[in-house]
């Protein structure tokens, strides 16, 4: 890939987002690591490239559209261009369905769905104007089957992301921008371990047809493939990696 492209990853400082950042950087991308935890985003960037030439951290609340506008401006000022957006930022919360409060629903939807939708608008307009771009939205098995270990508000937000992916894919396809989703099932990650509980993890994994949790590094490879220039014929798609929990 020459010259190097620039990728923006929201929620990129921890967990799956960090795995995606590390994969894209290893593949030769310059990476803009956007996260509510700006300190950790900066630390990851420093770990990847102490000179800040190929990795920079940005403190961003994706629930704030103005902050997303500022992120685009900042990345353009620092790197000169943007080619890829990975909407990974998410708020994960487990709660009994009938006990989810209006405030809890709003908080999850603002980050997960509103943040993804607004980022697709903000970055999608810029990518369309330049005639090229790749957007990858992180969906979830929960958005396809209603969820198993997560709350109904989380599952609903991820289902909305799947629909938004199709809407933006159809709108932006004629202008050289593809929009796709990756839908992981339960991953071997700190978030899943905290929700399921270490004492129940082995039993939980046995309930997955392949008998194991997913590997975040493999999800990152899926994202990198969809982000590549070679993925020009794939748009509006949702790539599943759920261990057989949802077949379609």
User: Which residues are part of the catalytic machinery?
Assistant: 154
Distance of CA 202 to the CA centre of its chain: 27
Count of CB atoms within 10 A of residue 73's CB?
A: 12
In angstroms, the CA 195 to CA 208 distance is 16
* Euclidean distance between CA atoms 75 and 55, whole angstroms: 10
Tell me the three state secondary structure of residue 148: coil
Cα distance between residue 114 and residue 29, in whole Å: 27
DSSP assignment of 80-133, as one string?
S---EEEE---------GGG--HHHHHHHHIIIIIHHHHHHHHHHHHHHHHT-E
């Amino acid at each position: 890939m020459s010259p190097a492209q620039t990728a923006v990853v929201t929620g990129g400082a921890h967990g799956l987002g960090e795995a995606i950042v590390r994969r894209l950087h290893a593949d030769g991308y310059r990476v803009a690591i956007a996260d509510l935890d700006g300190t950790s985003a900066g630390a990851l960037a420093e770990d990847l490239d102490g000179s800040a030439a190929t990795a920079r951290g940005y403190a961003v609340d994706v629930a704030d559209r103005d902050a997303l506008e500022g992120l685009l401006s900042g990345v353009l000022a620092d790197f000169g261009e943007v080619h890829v957006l990975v909407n990974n930022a998410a708020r994960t919360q487990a709660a009994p369905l009938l006990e989810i409060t209006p405030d809890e629903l709003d908080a999850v939807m603002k980050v997960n769905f509103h943040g993804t939708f607004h980022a697709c608008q903000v970055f999608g307009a810029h990518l369309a104007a330049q005639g090229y771009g790749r957007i990858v939205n992180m969906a979830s098995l929960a958005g396809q089957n209603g969820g198993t270990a997560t709350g109904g508000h989380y599952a609903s937000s991820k289902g909305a992301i799947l629909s938004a992916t199709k809407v933006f894919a159809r709108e932006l396809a004629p202008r050289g921008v593809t929009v796709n989703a990756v839908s992981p099932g339960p991953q071997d990650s700190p978030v899943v371990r905290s929700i399921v509980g270490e004492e129940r993890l082995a039993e939980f994994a046995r309930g997955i047809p392949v008998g194991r949790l997913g590997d975040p590094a493999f999800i990152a490879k899926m994202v990198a493939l969809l982000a590549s220039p070679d993925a020009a014929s794939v748009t509006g798609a949702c790539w599943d990696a759920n261990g057989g929990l949802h077949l379609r």
